[in-house]
């Protein structure tokens, strides 16, 4: 049965994280070695801030996190926070933010735990999730450094598998992973990609090749 205050909820509270989701990222990091000291990290959908605090801790002492969310965060952090709808977020805006803060122009790691407010209508919710995933993927070519990693929350569907498999050849490593902290009945799964090949390394070339599937709707029932 669903228990709102489960083991991970209590553990997060005790360890000073605002959400239990931190243990999903922690397990992914421990298994796939996502973060390094000194990394520059982009955290998409960072509210209330558990992933952001975890990333900030493991990239110390010289790393930096840039977080984006619709909602303002209240956790105590040195991260750069941008309150913005990612569908309205332009690459140039992030690049300008990096420049203004004397940071490199690309990220070592992009993480996305973006999830829409659910409507209860299955098709609408799964379409919204897919749009968020595609938007997160679209930041890879202009903003991810060569050899960089990308971790993205998704919900099991043929569309998600189709999209992830299209993107995977552009990375050296690809895995769809379900952490222990994900509730058993949940369809949540994480797309883990590392070793970005960056086939078009010019910094934000106007005609840079987009990810193959990013602008197109993924086809349904493709298995």
Ligand X SMILES: C[S@@+](CC[C@H](N)C(=O)[O-])C[C@H]1O[C@@H](n2cnc3c(N)ncnc32)[C@H](O)[C@@H]1O
Query: Which residues within the stretch 24-43 sit at the binding site for ligand X (CB under 6 A)?
Result: none
Q: Which tokens sit at 46?
A: 């960072």
Give the nearest distance from C-beta 9 to ligand X in angstroms. Answer: 13
| Number of residues binding to ligand X, judged by CB under 6 A | 23
Q: Which of 87, 120, 184, 221 binds ligand X (CB under 6 A)?
A: 87
Catalytic residue among 153, 166, 184, 187: 153
Query: Which residues within the stretch 131-170 sit at the binding site for ligand X (CB under 6 A)?
Result: 132
Which residues on neighbouring strands pair with residue 40, listed in sequence order?
64
Among 18, 217, 223, CA closest to 113: 18
Give the nearest distance from C-beta 123 to ligand X in angstroms. Answer: 18
Separation of alpha carbons 208 and 27, rounded Å = 34
Placement of tokens 């999903």 in the chain? 24
Q: Does 2 bind ligand X (CB under 6 A)?
A: no
The residue at minimum Cβ distance from ligand X is 45
Among 62, 148, 176, CA closest to 139: 148
Q: Which of 49, 141, 142, 148 binds ligand X (CB under 6 A)?
A: 49
184 is catalytic: no
**Residue with Cβ nearer ligand X (6 or 85):** 85
**Residue with Cβ nearer ligand X (116 or 195):** 116
Q: Does 85 bind ligand X (CB under 6 A)?
A: yes
Residue 90 in contact with residue 97, Cβ under 8 Å? no
- Which positions touch ligand X (CB under 6 A)? 18-19, 21-22, 45-51, 68-71, 85-87, 113-116, 132
């Amino acid at each position: 049965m669903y228990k709102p205050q489960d083991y991970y909820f209590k553990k997060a509270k005790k360890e000073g994280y605002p959400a239990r989701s931190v243990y999903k990222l922690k397990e992914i990091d421990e298994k796939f070695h996502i973060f390094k000291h000194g990394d520059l990290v982009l955290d998409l959908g960072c509210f209330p801030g558990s992933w952001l605090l975890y990333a900030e801790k493991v990239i110390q002492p010289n790393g930096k996190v840039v977080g984006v969310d619709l909602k303002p965060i209240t956790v105590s952090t040195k991260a750069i926070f941008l309150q913005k709808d990612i569908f309205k977020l332009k690459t140039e805006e992030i690049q300008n933010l990096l420049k203004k803060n004397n940071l490199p122009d690309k990220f070592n790691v992009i993480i996305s735990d973006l999830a829409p407010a659910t409507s209860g209508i299955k098709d609408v919710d799964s379409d919204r999730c897919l749009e968020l995933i595609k938007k997160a993927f679209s930041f890879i070519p202009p903003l991810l450094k060569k050899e960089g990693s990308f971790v993205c929350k998704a919900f099991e569907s043929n569309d998600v598998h189709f999209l992830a498999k299209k993107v995977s050849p552009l990375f050296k490593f690809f895995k769809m992973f379900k952490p222990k902290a994900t509730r058993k009945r949940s369809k949540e799964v994480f797309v883990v990609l590392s070793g970005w090949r960056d086939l078009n390394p010019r910094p934000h070339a106007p005609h840079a090749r987009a990810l193959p599937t990013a602008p197109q709707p993924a086809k349904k029932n493709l298995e």
